[in-house]
Structure 1
Amino acid sequence: MAERPRLAGFSHQGILKYGLVRDGIVDLSARYGARWPSLREVIEAGALVTLAEEAAALPADHALEDITYEIPVPAPEKIICVGVNFPDRNEEYKDGQAAPANPSLFIRFPRSFTGHGRPLVRPPESPQLDYEGEIAIVIGKGGRRIAEADALDHIAALTLCNEGTIRDWVRHAKFNVTQGKNFDATGSIGPWLVPFTDEGQIADIALETRVNGEVRQSDRTGRMIFSFRRIVNYISTFTTLVPGDVIVCGTPTGAGARFDPPVWLKPGDVVEIEAEGIGLLRNTIADEVFRP
């Protein structure tokens, strides 16, 4: 099978750009930026596949070592995350309850994520930085109350997410996890967008998380409690999805919090999230340099 095109947001010499990733990167923003300033506008125009095809024969403009990856969709209107979406994750709670009838959801802010190859930042307020490897879908065609039968038609692209979490801060209050999910640069999205063209890309693919080369999470999307179709349908019931929205679809069992004793990420660790047909998202860990 031919490799699917990969479109990334990146910065070069401090300037935000987007391009097609091959052995180097084709700077598409230099060619199409007046029409589509970022990948968000490309998504809204439904032009990801067309743009990738047009750029396939173009020469690379930058070496990959000369660019810095950014989160692929800049300033998305919404980043919505699904919790407890694999059977073993539900069993981790040991509360005797069956899998819920509806998805558990929470919101993250774009600033809480960084790009591929950049460090996740452990804040001074807590050492309990944890990993969660997930597949994320990017909405291409907006809508409200989208039927499950039509849901995949609204997906423009796939990417990966390390939905990094400050564990003790998700328990600071009774009913929410917002604080522990939104420390700056504690998670990552990327490395790129893979245009979504058929259900086979996500129907039953392997998702794996490794820390320093050790497999910590491993499962398949075919085992998700809530399918990609159901997720899009459910979320669009209460909010209008728009092009560029990112939905992070849940993590398998095996996060550091579930070890006895828990194993938290520390500076120097390397976390890799990998999924078939999408790619590999890699980040190191560093302590935040806090300057009041």
Structure 2
Amino acid sequence: MRFATYTANGKTHFGAITDEGAIALNNEFPDHNSLYEVVAAGAFDQLAAAVEGKSVTHTDFTYEMVMPDVRRILCVGVNFPDRNAEYKDGSAQPKYMSLFPRFASGFTGHDCPLIRPPENHTLDYEGEVAIVIGKAGRRISQDDAYDHIAALTLCNEGTIRDWVRHAKFNVTQGKNWDNSGAIGPWLVPFCDAAQLDDARIQTHVNGELRQDDTLNRMMFPIRREIEYISTFMTLRPGDIIVTGTPTGAGARFDPPKYLAPGDVVEVSVEGIGILRNSIEDELL
């Protein structure tokens, strides 16, 4: 089952995605105005039941960022061993993970363009798996971590590279340009550890394979991410954790291969789907 946020006939809906089209579920959840509110209320499991007996309501629609009103998005940086080596600073694997926040305004939906701003043209891609928390918790153990995941999705954590270098200790500026990244196309319910433990993530740019790795090679596995993050903050239903990108981003080529208008980026994981975005320049 796949659940998405989409726009049809000028109205935003949330619902199930089938091979034939979308099934709007808004009317089944009158107390919740969005997919995020459903997840935050702990009602994500009820979505599947709500689909029973329903027919496709929309065949012509536009995907939105999967939860455009999400409150908290936390990203894990430099989380693959080869990615750490890309920095060429001689550093060993770090003891603790790098973390930074992103905001919903920085993301668009599947099949929508990522926007390259006029101020800087170092727009780069980062294919990642994102998890959606479904059960609140503080100081969650690694053994219990997966019990707190409701769903999985994909992220292209688009970054303006020059702007992550504007300050010594943060990357917030380069990570939060409007519509510079994407999350989607949909949420896939998390049912089995193999969905993450055996997952292989790939990123293609214009059909060329740029990133290709497996989540079991992460320096900080997802169980550890949940444990560590929940030590200092209570994780709440609807929170998104973007779990880390493999080596192969455009900035690491010589010369760099930054994204330009007309390029198409595809992030894929078997069992979750394909997140596809073109690139356009911002219209002023």
| TM-score, scaled to structure 2 | 0.97
* Partners of 1:179 and 1:135 in 2: CA distance: 22
Question: What is the aligned partner in structure 2 of residue 183 from structure 1?
Answer: 177
Question: What is the aligned partner in structure 2 of residue 87 from structure 1?
Answer: 81
1:148 deviation in Å?
Answer: 1.3
Question: What is the aligned partner in structure 1 of residue 22 from structure 2?
Answer: 25
Structure 2 counterpart of 1:76, one-letter code: V
Preserved CA contact (<8 Å) 1:46 1:156 = no
After superposing on structure 2, the runs of 4+ consecutive aligned residues of structure 1 that deviate more than 4 Å are none
1:111 deviation in Å?
Answer: 0.2
Preserved CA contact (<8 Å) 1:19 1:27 = yes
* Partners of 1:268 and 1:56 in 2: CA distance: 40
1:193-231 superposed Cα distances (whole Å, 9 cap, x missing partner): 001112111112110000000000000011111111100
1:58 deviation in Å?
Answer: 1.8
Structure 1 counterpart of 2:31, one-letter code: R
1:45 deviation in Å?
Answer: 3.6
Does 1:38 find its partner at 2:34? Answer: yes
* Partners of 2:12 and 2:29 in 1: CA distance: 11
Does 1:140 find its partner at 2:140? Answer: no
Question: What is the aligned partner in structure 2 of residue 252 from structure 1?
Answer: 246
Gaps of at least 5 residues in structure 1 are none
* Partners of 1:159 and 1:150 in 2: CA distance: 20
* Partners of 1:268 and 1:182 in 2: CA distance: 22
Question: What is the aligned partner in structure 2 of residue 55 from structure 1?
Answer: 51
1:154-195 superposed Cα distances (whole Å, 9 cap, x missing partner): 111000000000000000111111100011000000000001
Does 1:72 find its partner at 2:66? Answer: yes
Structure 1 counterpart of 2:207, one-letter code: G
Does 1:154 find its partner at 2:151? Answer: no
Structure 1 counterpart of 2:179, one-letter code: A
Does 1:272 find its partner at 2:269? Answer: no
Preserved CA contact (<8 Å) 2:130 2:241 = yes
Give secondary structure in 1 for the equivalent of 2:143: helix
* Partners of 1:131 and 1:190 in 2: CA distance: 15
* Partners of 2:278 and 2:127 in 1: CA distance: 14
Structure 2 counterpart of 1:289, one-letter code: L
Mapping of 1:276-291 within 5 angstroms? 276-290=270-284
Structure 2 counterpart of 1:25, one-letter code: A
Preserved CA contact (<8 Å) 2:116 2:123 = yes
Does 1:239 find its partner at 2:225? Answer: no
Give secondary structure in 2 for the equivalent of 1:137: strand
* Partners of 1:212 and 1:227 in 2: CA distance: 30
Question: What is the aligned partner in structure 1 of residue 164 from structure 2?
Answer: 170
* Partners of 2:255 and 2:68 in 1: CA distance: 37
1:56 deviation in Å?
Answer: 4.4
Gaps of at least 5 residues in structure 2 are none
1:36 deviation in Å?
Answer: 2.5
1:39-68 superposed Cα distances (whole Å, 9 cap, x missing partner): 1222134333332244144210000xx211
Preserved CA contact (<8 Å) 1:160 1:189 = yes
1:125-160 superposed Cα distances (whole Å, 9 cap, x missing partner): 101000000000001111211111111111110000
1:35 deviation in Å?
Answer: 2.8
* Partners of 1:57 and 1:72 in 2: CA distance: 24
* Partners of 2:52 and 2:125 in 1: CA distance: 34
Give secondary structure in 2 for the equivalent of 1:148: coil
Question: What is the aligned partner in structure 1 of residue 3 from structure 2?
Answer: 7
1:33 deviation in Å?
Answer: 3.5
Give secondary structure in 2 for the equivalent of 1:158: strand
Structure 2 counterpart of 1:216, one-letter code: R
Q: Please point out which of 97, 105, 112 is paired with 2:106.
A: 112
Give secondary structure in 2 for the equivalent of 1:62: coil
State the identity %. Answer: 60
1:213-252 superposed Cα distances (whole Å, 9 cap, x missing partner): 0000000011111111100111111112111111000000
* Partners of 2:258 and 2:225 in 1: CA distance: 30
| TM-score, scaled to structure 1 | 0.94
Tell me the matched-pair count.
283
* Partners of 2:44 and 2:35 in 1: CA distance: 8
* Partners of 1:288 and 1:35 in 2: CA distance: 37
Preserved CA contact (<8 Å) 2:28 2:50 = no
1:92 deviation in Å?
Answer: 0.6
